[in-house]
Copies of this chain bind each other. A is one copy, B any other.
Amino acid sequence: MIMRALIISLLSIGTIAAPAAVSAADEPIQPIEAAKPKNENMVELGKMLFFDPRLSKSGFISCNSCHNLSMGGTDNLQTSVGHNWQQGPINSPTVLNSSMNLAQFWDGRAKNLKEQAGGPIANPGEMAFTHELAVDVLRSIPQYRARFKQLFGSDQINIDMVTDAIAAFEETLVTPDSRFDKWLKGDKQALNQTEVEGYKLFKEVGCTSCHNGAAVGGASFQKFGVHEPYKTASKAEGRFGVTGKDADRFMFKVPTLRNVELTYPYFHDGAAATLEEAVNTMGRLQLGHKFTKEENAKIVAFLKTLTGKQPQFTLPVLPPSTNETPRPKPFG
């Protein structure tokens, strides 16, 4: 009898909770859940490192320079500015919700955030440093040594610890509570009619075959240029650069559309300045569909509902260099 009562009780809970849950689960897009940091101290250290330009040769470029958390986790430039004002070869993807990507970089050459974090530090066109020199800087600063010791049990800082901490911070950079997520969770007032129609169209024409899941993308590599080739001056060839397989030519990681209103310009070459242009190009090249002006406006209206709550945090105060700290070399 007790068991039976319990089951009935559980079923009742199920019944009450069911409608919203089933409805959200039926959709190709799921709401983003707020981050639950496992280790607040690790996140804090990662935040400091993310904002510390001393991880670059120049002492001028930090992770936040190109993944600016005031601007949707991007630099809003077609391609980024690197050491010595070098022009980057590709558009900086947003760091927001990047923990949900199947791999990192447009070509997926890093399997996760930790592996990604080491890339730009040592890239001669970006931060132009070496892992060894970056670690030397951190080791010379007692407040950094103390934090690493507390977290890793050793103040013999190494690049693995550095990228662990940066990745831990980046995992917190999720953007829940967008109007679309509220709508998904049952608040039908969260979207207006145009936005709902835009979402329906987004599904009907096939955008959700690739832009799905909680991140509305990031879950697969796809060929850019299905119905017609993509015309670009960019030399990037996507997965082909990683695997060397002909079948991977122009296969790029599908970008997340979360916060897409903030992450302009669009595509791996940053060639589309506006959402309207990006939507039209995607329709034509990927779906063989020419959107009417009205359809385009509806989809753009829907896409703007994907802007979530941006990470809110106190700007970190960085510990000063010491007399032993190697000095940055911006000009030589």
A77 touches B65 (CB 8 A): no
Complexed CA–CA distance, A63 and B165 (Å): 28
Q: Cβ of A318: which chain B residues have Cβ within 8 Å of it? A: 70-71
- Give the residue name and chain of the B residue nearest to A273 (CB): B327
* A313 engages B314 (CB within 8 Å): yes
Identify whether the interface residues of A are mostly helix, strand, loop, or mixed. loop
A238 contacts partner chain B, Cβ-Cβ < 8 Å: no
Question: Beyond A60-B77, A81-B60, is A264–B313 a contact (Cβ under 8 Å)?
Answer: no
What's the nearest-Cβ distance from chain B to residue A15, in Å? 40
Check if A264 sits within 8 Å of B87, measured CB to CB: no
Interfacial chain B residues near A261, Cβ < 8 Å: 320
Q: How far is the CB of A245 from chain B (nearest CB, A)?
A: 33
| Residues A2-54 near B (CB distance < 8 A) | 51-54
Q: Which of B59, B87, B274 contacts A75 (CB 8 A)?
A: B59
Task: Identify the interface centre among A71, A72, A265: most chain B CB within 10 Å of its CB.
Answer: A71
Q: How far is the CA of A68 from the CA of B59 in the complex (A)?
A: 12
Chain B's closest residue to A59 (CB) is B77
Q: Which residue of B lies closest to A75 (CB)?
A: B60
**Complex interface: chain B residues within 8 A of A305 (CB):** none
| Chain A 309-332 interface residues, beta-carbon cutoff 8 Å to B | 310, 312-318, 320-321, 323, 327-328, 330-331
In the complex, which residues of chain B have a beta carbon less than 8 angstroms from the beta carbon of A312? 314-315, 317
Nearest chain-B residue to A81 (Cβ)? B60
Task: Convert A251-283 into 0s and 1s, putting 1 for each residue whose CB lies closer than 8 angstroms to a CB of B.
Answer: 000000000011011000000011010000000
A183–B329 CA distance with the chains assembled, in angstroms: 38
Q: For the complex formed by this chain, how many copies does it contain in all?
A: 2
Do B76 and A321 touch (CB < 8 A)? yes
Does A116 touch B at the CB level, under 8 Å?
no
Interface: A69 (CB within 8 A): yes
In the bound complex, do residue B85 and residue A59 qualify as a contact, i.e. CB atoms below 8 Å apart? no
A316 to chain B, nearest CB (A): 6
Q: Is A112 an interface residue (CB 8 A)?
A: no
**Contact across chains for A264 and B60 when beta carbons are under 8 A apart:** no
Partner of A320, one of B77, B262, B276, B315: B262
Which B-chain residue is minimally distant from A68 (CB atoms)?
B53
Question: A208 within 8 Å of B by Cβ?
Answer: no
CB contact between A330 and one of B68, B71, B81, B314 (< 8 Å): that residue = B81
Identity of the chain B residue whose Cβ is nearest the Cβ of A71 in the assembled complex: B318
Question: In the docked arrangement, what's the CA distance between A75 and B52, Å?
Answer: 11
Q: Can you spell out 6 A-B residue pairs with CB atoms less than 8 angstroms apart? A: A53-B75, A60-B75, A70-B318, A76-B328, A265-B327, A315-B315
Known pairs A53-B75, A70-B317, A265-B327. 13 more at Cβ < 8 A? A51-B70, A53-B68, A59-B75, A59-B76, A60-B81, A69-B315, A70-B316, A84-B85, A85-B330, A262-B320, A276-B323, A313-B314, A315-B315
